[in-house]
Structure 1
Amino acid sequence: MYAASLSKDNTLLRLSGVSKAFGPRVLFRKLGAEFKAESITLLAGSNGTGKSTLMRIMAGLGRPDSGTVERLADETETAFLAHATFIYSGLSARENLLFWARGAGLSGTEASRAADAALERVGLARHAHDRAGIFSRGMAQRLNLARVLLGRPRLLLLDEPGTGLDIASRGLLRDIVREARSRGAAVVWISHDLDADGVLADRILTLRKKTLEENSSPSLSAGEGALPC
């Protein structure tokens, strides 16, 4: 069940008793967590423990078998970046962003300005009118990352957004995440690079043994063996 009304304690997302299984294989059971405004939460764990499945449930793209997901930010205020890059290869970089901007509730001049500013921010301004289908993996990832800059979302759900990015682009990603937190967003970020990304986090939640554990140090978040995704 999804709900949109939360108490006035800056919570933008709340999980209560969330469980999910695929046939006999239980991914997680009775998970509970709150994600508040102006915070970065790193979601860690071994491959196959269900991190991406959980994030899709958080985004409203999947449903739990039981439990509730309460989300104060509506669809236009939520940005979800999946592990796989999702762009329209037949459209230009700018056309992709205009499409996503309209989905974020922007229109007309506002959408154009947001798209141009996002392209400039991720270093793709000179490729604005190039067809996205010819982009390298890194360029496509930066275009995907530019979506986060549209509409100033209140809830950012990032599933390994650093995949395919070079060192400079990873630095840009971290800057964007910091800026989102500073403007009041709640960021939930799946990452396997805990040494580099963990320093940004206000907390680290590790999905292990079908439950969530909160850790204060990246070194405590190394997962145990699991089936690959």
Structure 2
Amino acid sequence: MKIGKVIVMVVAVVVLTALGYGLASWFLGKPDQNAEGATQLEQTLAQLSSDTAATDGEYAVGDRLSGNADKDNKKATVFDPAFPELQWDNLMPADWDPMAAFRGLNIAELQDNDPKAQEALEKMRKAWNDAPVNTAYTGKKVRIPGFAIPIEQSEKGVDELLLVPYFGACIHTPPPPANQIIHVKLSEPQPAVGAMQAYWVWGELTASKFSSELGDAAYLLSATGIQPYED
């Protein structure tokens, strides 16, 4: 499965990052620091990590949600059939290889501060930020389970979020490819959406680029519904 390859590659990126490179400074540059000495990104990551740590420990970094595909009829959550379940793998075109940027690179041979590590990271990040969409699903009504990362809030609650396929993505690990991040705009603000909480989200999916400090999304889901995911 492609998403499995993505998770393996994220682990490889963490290894590369450990070879003398700070991921945040590499990926995002060096934004201005505030009076306390911490960048806005660092504050956001710290808050999100705190929210994640406050969960019940049900998931570990890299865990994915099975959706209804692996459940029998008694356990499967009932949804409006107008919003069929979408698998994360299907968001990646069949002919797209998420590992192509690392072909020919032997990570085990790299040393601290090896320029090849920096070059590989830059090549991978560009390839993943520009990851292509699967046009077969654009303009379709879909339903998909994932982990939420709130990005916009109003006085009434969360208006927008990023949805990612595995626990810890964008917070404890580098961002997945853009075609594995969905920018979700909610039809109504939700009062309590925590970082890395699991949800079902449904609505109309379109191809739309969205960039943030936490990752780039290739899809937009104009959501008409959201509810907590239950195993």
TM-score bucket of the superposed structures, by smaller chain: under 0.3
| More helix by percentage | 1
